[in-house]
Amino acid sequence: MLCWPISERANSPTVTAANAALTAQLRELGVAAHEARWIVDEFAPGGDIAGSDAVMQAATRRLNGEPLQYILGHWPFRSLDLDVDPRVLIPRPETEELVSIALLQLARRGVRAPVIVDLGCGSGAIGLALLSELDARGVKGALFAVDLSSDALVVARRNALKNHVSAVSFVQSSWFDDVDSSLRGRIDLIVANPPYISERDFELLDPVLSYEPLGALVSADVELGDGFSDVAHIIAESPGWLSPQGTVIIEHGELQAERARRAAHDAGFGSVCTEMDLNSRERFLVCAHQP
Ligand SMILES: C[S@@+](CC[C@H](N)C(=O)[O-])C[C@H]1O[C@@H](n2cnc3c(N)ncnc32)[C@H](O)[C@@H]1O
């Protein structure tokens, strides 16, 4: 989750002759090449000189440390273009992998019309991408996008509209606390990328993370004080909400995989494994009642 600074992405804008001069100017000021291309493409598309003031303002914000994604105001996640602002975590490329794992699980288990719960939905990245990609395959899912933060839910709702994803209910809740109890035993897929950093570790991380909501990164840690409380809570609560063929997929810290598997066994899951992220780190707990 904590990938920073952003790396070059396959869908980064390319330099055209028209915007090359502006891009070069930003490079001279010290903006990284790929970020300069994003900024020019956003604020002066086609090298439009009328956008050069906006380009310079954006470059200044970036040089002052603000994340590029908040400056642009939107960011790609899988097939979606998501609005992002300081009310929500910037969706990370690693989290795109969680969506692939989830789609595979649903296909493997032959779930038709899945009921999906995205716990801690933030911008809506995981759940909206899932619903959108299932729809493209002719599968109609229903999504419950849950977050404690009402601010995050405003952004997630806007992203659903922007990306034409319907069949979404937005629920303000601390994890399952206020999720409709009629969903007990009926959820085919629970996905979550909860906060999993301890307060102590957060102090040691890149200060650029302080632009993002603290409650999205740092675990409330009432029980453990080591960043694992929210992951542990979701694992312990999930079995009662899952349908018999349901799957839970949780993104966690790279040093938390073994504990997550142990917690899942303790919670009574019959099938427990860990999937790697793109950097071959153990990052996703996948568990289910049935193998
Ligand atoms: C790491 S962010 C993930 C955002 C998004 N799912 C993503 O992957 O980009 C964690 C999210 O969990 C939410 N959150 C934190 N504590 C929560 C709680 N007790 N109940 C529900 N959501 C919570 C935060 O507001 C934040 O949106």
Higher local confidence (pLDDT), 11 or 22: 22
Residue (of 254, 106, 80) closest to 191 by Cα position: 106
Please work out whether the CB of residue 179 comes within 6 Å of at least one atom of ligand 1. no
Please work out whether the CB of residue 194 comes within 6 Å of at least one atom of ligand 1. yes
Quick one: pLDDT at residue 20? 85
- The verdict on residue 175 lying in a domain is yes
Same domain, 91 and 48: no
Same domain, 61 and 170: no
Query: Poorest-confidence range of 26-35, 221-230, 244-253?
Result: 221-230
Same domain, 106 and 189: yes
The CATH code of the domain that includes 197 is 3.40.50.150
Domain of residue 68 covers: 17-72
How does pLDDT run across 139-160, given as a tens digit for each residue? 999 999 999 999 999 999 999 9
Q: Are 147 and 172 in contact (CB under 8 A)?
A: yes
Dihedral sign computed on CA atoms, order 84, 170, 269, 129: negative
Same domain, 160 and 45: no
Average pLDDT in the 229-248 region? 97
206, pLDDT greater than 70: yes
- The verdict on residue 7 lying in a domain is no
Q: Is 284 exposed, middle or buried (0-12, 13-18, 19+ CB in 10 A)?
A: buried
Query: Poorest-confidence range of 27-36, 48-57, 120-129, 270-279?
Result: 48-57
Q: Are 231 and 260 in contact (CB under 8 A)?
A: yes
Q: Which residue has the tokens 């153990």?
A: 282
Quick one: pLDDT at residue 3? 36
Enter the pTM of the model.
0.93
Ligand 1 centre distance from Cα of residue 152 (Å): 8
Same domain, 111 and 225: yes
17, pLDDT greater than 70: no
Ligand 1 centre distance from Cα of residue 121 (Å): 6
- Substitution site in 130, 193, 197, 283 for ligand 1 pocket (most atoms within 8 Å of beta carbon): 193
- Substitution site in 149, 159, 222, 237 for ligand 1 pocket (most atoms within 8 Å of beta carbon): 149
Quick one: pLDDT at residue 18? 59
Please work out whether the CB of residue 191 comes within 6 Å of at least one atom of ligand 1. no
**Could you tell me whether strands 74-77 and 80-83 are parallel, antiparallel, or unpaired per DSSP bridges?**
antiparallel
- Residues counted in the chain: 291
Quick one: pLDDT at residue 5? 38
How does pLDDT run across 164-194, given as a tens digit for each residue? 999 999 999 999 999 999 999 999 999 999 9
Same domain, 65 and 83: no
* Boundary-marking domain end, from 37, 56, 72: 72
Q: Using 50, 70 and 90 to split pLDDT, how confident is the model at 12?
A: low
Number of domains comprising the chain: 2
Average pLDDT, the chain: 92
How does pLDDT run across 79-133, given as a tens digit for each residue? 999 999 999 999 999 999 999 999 999 999 999 899 999 999 999 999 999 999 9
Average pLDDT in the 41-63 region? 88
**What would the DSSP string read from start to end of 136-156?**
HTT---EEEEEES-HHHHHHH
Please work out whether the CB of residue 139 comes within 6 Å of at least one atom of ligand 1. no
Same domain, 129 and 59: no
Same domain, 21 and 94: no
